[in-house]
Amino acid sequence: MKRQHIILAAALAAAPAVSAQTLTKEIVIEREIDPTLPEAARISNFPSLVQPQAPVSRLPFVDVTAATRVLGMLSMLEPANGQPAITLSPYRGYASLGYFPAYKLGISAGYSIIAKPASSLNVWTQFDGYSYKDQYDETLKRNSVTVGADFSHLFGRTKRLDLSADFTYNAYNKPWEEEDPNHHTLAFDIDAAWSARHNALAYYVTGAFSHFGFSGKEIHLTNGRLDAVSQNIIKVAGGTAYFITDKSSVNGHVDVSFVHTGHFNTLLNDMTVGGTSIWLPALIGGDGKTMGLITLAPSYRYTSGAFSTSLGVKAQIATNSGKTFHIAPDVKINVRPVSTFAATLSFGGGEHINRLSALYNIDPYMSVAQGYKFSEVPFTADLSLTFGPFYGASVELFGGYAVANDWLMPEVLDGAGGPNPSSNRLIYGSMFNTVDLRAVRYGAKFAWKYNKNIEASVKYTGAPGSYRHSYYLNHDRARHVLEANMSVTPIAPLTVDASFELRAGRSLYTRWFTTVGSEPMKYDLLNANSLNIGATYRFTDCISAFARVENILGRRAYMYNLLEQQGIHGLIGAAVKF
């Protein structure tokens, strides 16, 4: 999908000026529009752990990875009128095609209909498809197509309008559901943002609508059949930033979200059988349900030389979703006394909207009929220390602690207790269930860059992996994660990159048919490792060829429904800009 950067007045108050993406040399096909505060997002300088998901290969359009640097300070623009101009490119369009046997296909294309300093209108599309056989000799397949458009316009030097929309149709199968194995999801998003600045005052107003829905019926987590659910989210937000001086500002943000789920079916969880209380996560049918979330987030920001800080609080009111009032810190402190050392301390938390689209990305074989309330992250704390660069090398030490309540984690329906018992299938279905989590995380990263030709990094992250003591963003509960990346440009037209990721100690827990108060059953998801190698050769500035092979070692660890992940796969193809 296409990544679009929306320039908001609030962003102007917190970061250096950037420009909206048009068709430039580096084109990333990934859409990401979130000009407001994210729901319950941690304030962290560390990338979140990548979870094993359904194998999907995106076409690579970024030629060179970003350089590794010491973590920057919080920065602010001086109070001034003006919005950054829209960046222009000599190319109006792009197209790319990649294929890998037996079936792995990626197609991407886009065109800039309007490309002017004050206006841009882009349209784009992306197709991804694959199929492979699991350990039961069943063919798992998926085909997804997305079309989208975005528009930006500057009104003078102080006002800006951004609009975007996209639609995604995704077809996939569950071959173990013999009666109706074919499923699909529909998703579309509409976003709008207005931002402006006048002297020392900046403000923005945004609105968004998001839809995600499943097809078919749920047959495993119920004695009957329950219709698939869909989710609609409406969000409006606004905020201001007032510069007291060129180094400090006071900021305010408010947003209101409404989340409607059709057929809000919930898990029964426990039932008394023969005088014994057991966990029986069966879905109970329900009517449609609408939940609301109001967020107020005032803050004060200051930056000067070697020190910068953002001091804020996030106060939230949730309706029709359990606990009503929530409050969490929203604090970030940066210290950089010398150019070769930086320290960052942050505290965060907040209420979290469980979007069906995000849960589907975690487990594409999740129940199609389950509804979810909000989750709560009362508190997170993160600390990082960065040393360097010294001769192109830097070392980062980091750690953190997080508390999450009613957090959704994958669980499974044991085949022996399923509605269609089978001796050759361990798991029939997967779902999400709530659990309260508390855990620390810790790690280190070494990065090195030599001129523009060689760049490498190695990162280790550790965290506990038990049922209630797991880091909340770590859905596979991996206890050890090792990531290594290298990019080499031996000659100007050629870039070769390699990466390796190991996730060790992965596990999955389920309370299915266990007595209340006993320990849940544990499944070993096996260690997941993936060695990937790719290369891009640029014949000209507008014509290139690429090849990327992933999971070269063929390691087939388990997904959350205990089906094997895809073995060796990749994409080989070409890209043009015109």
pLDDT confidence of residue 269: 67
pLDDT confidence of residue 322: 84
Q: Are 46 and 110 in contact (CB under 8 A)?
A: no
CA-based torsion, 511, 512, 516, 518: positive or negative: negative
DSSP state of 465: B
Contacts of 384 (CB under 8 A, 6+ apart): 45, 46, 71, 342, 343, 344, 396, 397, 398
pLDDT confidence of residue 528: 95
pLDDT confidence of residue 142: 96
Q: How is 205-260 classified by DSSP, letter by letter?
A: EEEEEEEEEE-SEE-SSSSS-EEPPEEEEEEEEEEEEEESSSSEEEEEEEEEEEEE
pTM, to two decimals: 0.83
Q: Are 377 and 347 in contact (CB under 8 A)?
A: no
| Closest among 167, 315, 319 to 257, alpha carbons compared | 319
Domain range 9-430, CATH class: mainly beta
**First CA to last CA across the chain, in angstroms?**
19
pLDDT confidence of residue 103: 92
pLDDT confidence of residue 426: 64
pLDDT confidence of residue 545: 97
Query: CA 84 to CA 7: how far, in whole Å?
Result: 8
pLDDT confidence of residue 463: 98
Q: How is 129-174 classified by DSSP, letter by letter?
A: EEEEE-TTSPEEEEEEEEEEEEEEEEETTTEEEEEEEEEEEEEEE-
Residue 425: helix, strand or coil by DSSP?
Answer: coil
| Closest among 494, 564, 503 to 529, alpha carbons compared | 503
DSSP state of 354: -
pLDDT, one tens digit per residue, over 367-397 is: 899 899 999 999 999 999 999 999 999 999 9
Q: Are 217 and 225 in contact (CB under 8 A)?
A: yes
For residue 165, the Cα-to-chain-centroid distance in whole angstroms is: 19
pLDDT confidence of residue 84: 60
Contacts of 257 (CB under 8 A, 6+ apart): 39, 233, 234, 235, 292, 293, 295, 353
What angle (nearest 5°) sits at the alpha carbon of residue 279, between those of residues 276 and 283? 130
Mean pLDDT per block of 10 residues along the chain (578 residues) reads 34 32 31 33 28 34 27 32 65 95 94 94 96 91 97 93 97 86 96 94 96 89 81 97 94 97 79 72 82 97 93 96 93 95 97 96 92 96 96 96 97 57 60 94 97 94 96 97 97 96 94 80 92 97 96 92 91 96
How is the chain split into domains, by residue range? 9-430
